[in-house]
Chains A and B, each alone.
Chain A
Amino acid sequence: MKNDHQSDEETIIRQCREGDRDAYSLLVDRYKTMVYNVAYRMVGDEDTAKDLAQESFISAYSGLARFRFGSKFSTWLYSIALNRCRDHLRLTKETVSTDEITDIIPDRGVSPERAAATGQDKDLLQRAMETLPADYREVLVLKHIEELDYQEISAITGTGIAALKVRAHRGREMLRKVLEGSGVTHG
């Protein structure tokens, strides 16, 4: 199945290169949810996520001539999307000071289980994610939400696997602490 997928992606990419713009919509349709969700998890705002996701596809299209067959289109797309998100975050300086972290969780008495039961889980998770440094957030999104392996995450982010694992470890611990509302770690 994976081979079929890749080979028909290759076909589409070739078609686009040959002038069939419309064929690209098939790739967009296939990956739009993936790219949009990664962007949303990184920047935390739907409209911004949509813009960044769309820009990623447009950017990928322009670069199709350079795409090397044999590699996965999704890997490339993820990396374009994450670069855009990083640029955006840097520009808007979306870093939260550790003092603000305690304000983000509105009711520290609410346990994660109870929050889950009342459906507040998702927003809670997202808000908690946003307190993490961007590079920790990235790895957690790719590893546990997108469920990629470290090999692929390394290809996407251009970072070595060992470093990625350190970020994942630290990211998980930080996220856990934020979610449990029990104190805050610095750095």
Chain B
Amino acid sequence: MALLLCFALPSWTIAAGDLASDGINKALEASPLSRTEQAEVHAKAVSAVNAGVPREDVELILSRAISRKADAGTINRFLDTSVSAKKEGLPLSPVLDRIEQGLSKGVPPERVAIASERLTAKLAEARPLVDALIRDGMTPKRSGEREMAIEASARALEKSIPPEEIKGMGAAVQGRRGSLPLFTSSVDTATYFAGSGMPAATASRLVRNAVDKGYSTRDLDSMVKHMDAEMKRGARPEDAAAKMERGNMQSEPAMDRQDMRRDMMNDRSGGAGPGMGNRMK
């Protein structure tokens, strides 16, 4: 009886997995993968779901990867990355989002795998940085804020913005008794500039100066738009940066408005938008 159970158990597990993972089966059956490969991917997919990766995402990634003609090895990389992010307690949504986005956009699956593995590594690097800021008093006030900050910092690291610069932006926000969402916006802004061709040091200096002057999330968005417009006109990033610095030096933002808001809303400071981490779902 016990022996029977021993033999029965594994197939029960698989059967139970099958029932729950009809989508996974469907996707695999439609694929050009060999039977062995299908089994391997299937097993990985099921254990990903068991590890806590949302089934909907696993199914979506599988079906997209297959439709983009990803090979089994690459599909397994997607699943492995997701699982390790989950197991390490890193924000999972950015990783899933990146995989889903890349595959949807038609980026070659191998590149998507590389990009999501890179992001996962950077998330791991970014986490202690953000947690240090939180320990120093930049407390998250809403769920998702910490994760968004970690994601923003990870993207900054991807753009080769050094950790010191990220810490510098954190210090600038702290100096203004700013919130975690403001930190996230600052880092995002610097990342955008760096991505547009500005040297990382220049990008973060620009943003630090803006934060020092009390600029809100909305003002930072304004900087992004401005940069964008300058670049469209063919300006080089350095020139756009120089122009913005001159602009920075000439004008102060609407401090009165910010102060008023701060008074009226006692659980927030700095940013205009609460920026709830809705990238994490």
Contact = CB atoms under 8 A, between A and B. Distances in A.
A25 B258 CA distance: 13
B234 A22 contact: no
A119 interface: yes
Interface in A13-40: 22, 25
A27 to B, nearest CB: 14
Interface residues of B, number: 4
B254 A25 contact: yes
Interface string B237-281: 000000000000000001001001000000000000000000000
A119 B257 CA distance: 40
B257 A25 contact: yes
Nearest to B261: A22
A119 B235 CA distance: 13
A119 B260 CA distance: 45
A25 to B, nearest CB: 7
A119 B254 contact: no
B262 to A, nearest CB: 13
Interface in B72-88: none
Interface string A107-137: 0000000000001000000000000000000
Contacts of B257: 22, 25
A119 B233 CA distance: 9
Interface string B121-136: 0000000000000000
Nearest to B257: A22
Interface string A149-183: 00000000000000000000000000000000000
Contacts of A119: 234
Nearest to B218: A29
Contacts of A22: 257, 260
Interface of B: 234, 254, 257, 260
5 contacts: A22-B257, A22-B260, A25-B254, A25-B257, A119-B234
Q: Which 5 A-B pairs have the closest CB atoms?
A: A22-B257, A22-B260, A25-B254, A25-B257, A119-B234
